Amino acid sequence: MRTCAFSPDSRTVISGSDDTTIKFWDAETGTELAKITDHTGMINKIRYDPTGSVIASCSTDKKVKIFDSRS
């Protein structure tokens, strides 16, 4: 894991890793909830927007991507 962020309600944690994946975790149990594999490089930063409905990520693939965190 290279970077992580709590959702605004602190129920979910997102992580970005060297293996190019973004994962959603249940903050209480540590259970993996979902995984995104859209980047081709290591994830450098990941953040929720203030509403918790959107996340942004940037990677060593030189791309910034926006995702709907609810889907």
The Cα–Cα gap between 39 and 8 comes to 24
Q: Which CATH number fits domain 3-68: 3.40.980.10, 3.40.50.10480, 2.40.10.480, 3.40.50.20?
A: 2.40.10.480
Query: pLDDT class for 59, splitting at 50, 70, 90?
Result: very high
Over 90: is that where the pLDDT of 60 sits? yes
pTM of the predicted structure, to 2 decimals: 0.90
Which residue type occupies 26? Answer: D
**Residue-range domain boundaries for the chain:** 3-68
- pLDDT value for 71: 74
Q: In what order do the strands lie in the sheet with 22-26?
A: 3-6, 12-16, 22-26, 32-36
The Cα–Cα gap between 46 and 57 comes to 4
